[in-house]
Structure formats: C-alpha cells, structure tokens
Structure 1
C-alpha cells in the first residue's frame, strides 16, 4: 500500500500574479509562507497557508496557455473549502465584490454549497459542514 497521509499542496498557475496574490490573500484569507522570484523562469512562486497549514503554491509564468474549465473539461474540476456558516462566508465575499452562485444543497449529504471563481476563472466551492 502507498500509505498516503494527506494532501500536501495544490499548485495553481495564474495569468496575473498580483491580481491572484491579492485574491488568495485579501479575499480568501491565506497567509504567505514564502514568496520567491525565479528569474531563470521569469516566475514567482508563492507558498500560501490556511490556518497555519501550507496548502497552495501560486505560480506565475509568462503567457501560460488557457486551460478549459467549462463545460466539464477533463482535469481538475474545482477547489473546495470547508466553512461552518456558508451564509456568513457569502456575506464576506459580497463585501469584497465576489458574488457566488446561489446556494445549492448536496442531494446525498443535505449540506449547503456554492461556487465562485478566482481571477483566472478557476471554480472554487464553499461547502458547509
């Protein structure tokens, strides 16, 4: 058995580094673990943490190709975050000019969830537990 223990991190390539950095830090509330500029690749690498746990690597590269996301393209479908109060989270997002889709209810668990997008249209889900 491989004995995987947890997800270590998720890597995201963005088209506008400063815009995405602002979004993940100021809108979603991640904190910076480390930020480096790799001149040989003309690329930033920003290590982000959520509640003290390192979990996202945000990369910039010159002219990254677009990745199809909708309708249901092959590959990562969305990034989901757990919240305890989805209505409160939606209010906070609204105050920051981020407008999620209407809340839906998971037909199997009865839990509430909604989607919105990051600056590159990566679907992000909030799931209430």
Structure 2
C-alpha cells in the first residue's frame, strides 16, 4: 500500500528499491495493509560554509499512520557504524522525528516471525 505521489497506481507502480530486502519489506507491509512511502524525505545533517547540504540521512521507509521512519541496514560493520553515527546526528538535530533501524538480525527475525523463514535463510545481509 505504497503512498507515492505522482507515480500512478500504487498497486502497479513500484519504486526502484536499492536492495532486495527493501522490496521484501515493502511486500510485507503491503500484505498487512500498512501504508508506506519509500525514501520520502532527506534530512540534512551537515552543511558547508555556503549552506549547501554535504551530508544527509534518507530513511528507506516512512509509515505515515504511526509517524515512523524505518531504515534497513547491512551487516557490513563500516556501513552500520556510519548509519549509527548519522542516526545519532539526526536525533540531535530533529528530536521529534521517530526513526527505527532494522539491522540484518532484526530483519531476519521479522521474516521468521511472519512465517517467511525460507526467505530468511536465503536473504542476503540487509
């Protein structure tokens, strides 16, 4: 139940997901009738001397009915560390924005919980 403006019918128009895990997560949200938006907003985290954004945080999903952003991340430690740093900065600059990071283990647990265990075994690191 994607909620994407100017992209036509949500049932037939899908965004280009950066990773298969994002497509699977979107299918799970659709199955349970949860409205979502894919990468709807960019949060500036750092600007240069001229005020141009040089670093930002772009959560993967937004769940408007519960006002929550979701970020799926990989198990590559360098990426996890970078995203955790960005998330800390986001919380400093935007304390009223709710964001949850799903790490690889969280994502696989979610697949197991909802009976998608065979998918969890073949799903690459998120």
TM-score normalised according to structure 1 size: 0.30
Quick check: which one's strand share is greater? 1
Quick check: which one's helix share is greater? 2
TM-score normalised according to structure 2 size: 0.30
